[in-house]
Chains A and B, each alone.
Chain A
């Protein structure tokens, strides 16, 4: 007999699931417990090269209060129902809103979306999981708070809680999102509510101003993990500077990445360039204005010759550095001189100021990302091949020129083996790089789906064999990446899991933790 559910949680009988659903409806009301195929359809769209059936949920619960979540985990413990928590659920390229394992119930916190506090003087925010960057942006503007957001490229439709909990990045001086997190509220699997840092202290007013509190610092164990459900989240905001100067620097040869990185690192570490700089390959920026089909047809990765034509036609370098200066005009003038001297030394760089490229679509969206303005222009990446296939391959690299060239060449070589293109960028921390490669393929083409899966698997295998680890990955490859970090770390993760969630109800499979 066909089940009335589109999937069932692993190891849970339909009878037990029925009973759990009845209780979920008592807690949330009928309208906030979704079980029909039609209601659940939006949760099942992923960009991964696996069957959507592998990540089909059994139900979605739309909770709006901490008390509801406490009651939900009690029911989950009783019937051993696993829940996959999402905030805004726009984790595109990393699994989107779908659970890691078939049959999990999605706890969807999008409607829990109150902005609880934004402090103008201390420059911090306290928000619930469903708050989007757009919502916060509008609030800050409306109340004239003079604060800037730092967001990933899906800006408007993504949100600070979900993004930071997966340790995402932005492009302003506050780009390393988790570094600027301050204070969390977490519902634990046993239903208790933990506030981290100073938040544990009755009557404290320092929850969002001092991170560590007293004793072991716990916030980190609730990121990229399944040890609790974050229901409130504090983070620091950057005061809007009096002046902002975004600029681009173009280079013509792939090997120039060595010089670029060697030039940027000291500027970045010393704070002359304060933001999360991007070094984007031509194929990462090209989709904003170029069509792949205008340059190449048939199978195989795009030849270098075609890439050079794209660069010429669309005024791109093979490497396109986007960075910015912030502060008073005097501060910017001083630092601009230092930046110009550093980049002009070898004669290879072409420096472009805002005045020169204001009309350029790629520059425009980059400038917006570097000053906390909403834009979804980078989604044009998904049009490069089209067909809805995309996985982020994101190895960590030293901010050392020779390393970035090595990683780039290896990535490009493996992608080419499977007929895929190198659409990559380096997001520059101070000492690290998030080497971000969009593995783009046509999900409607079964051959490309197979190739993309094998390609991604090989990328992970080859990179880890050379000691290169991945900072974040889609739900289809979480176990594989967890393995690359070795058994000792994995055991600790498991030990913590058993202690905090003995029934394994919280997102089993997240980061390979069960």
Chain B
């Protein structure tokens, strides 16, 4: 009877990030091999028009998976 937990980076990307980053709201972030540390920092602090996401929304472990997913090469998606 546990609560919701994220499965993997692809799921978080599809159900949070993509709504802006694949919809002309935020910049494209996939296939740019953005540094993992940069992604994590931006998610946590937000930047300008982009809201911040708390560890209660995307826990540290899930954020690591998400950052890896976003930063990896196109061929690996």
Contact = CB atoms under 8 A, between A and B. Distances in A.
B35 interface: no
Interface string B45-77: 111111111111100000000000000000000
A217 interface: no
On chain A, which size bracket covers the interface? Answer: 35 or more
A156 B15 contact: yes
A42 B49 contact: no
Interface string B23-57: 11100000000000000000011111111111111
B28 to A, nearest CB: 14
A136 B45 CA distance: 27
A402 interface: no
B16 A111 contact: no
A62 B16 contact: no
B3 A128 contact: yes
Contacts, number: 99
Interface size grouping (class) on chain B:
20 to 34
A459 interface: no
Given A42-B44, A45-B45, A376 B25 contact: yes
Contacts of A376: 19-20, 23, 25
Given A41-B45, A376-B19, A386-B48, A34 B3 contact: no
A19 B7 CA distance: 37
Contact of B51 (A96, A156, A375, A387): A96
A45 B51 contact: yes
Contacts of A134: 15-16
A110 B1 contact: no
A90 interface: yes
A375 B15 CA distance: 10
Contacts of B51: 45, 90, 92, 96, 157
Contact of A42 (B2, B16, B24, B53): B53
A111 B3 contact: yes
Contacts of A318: none
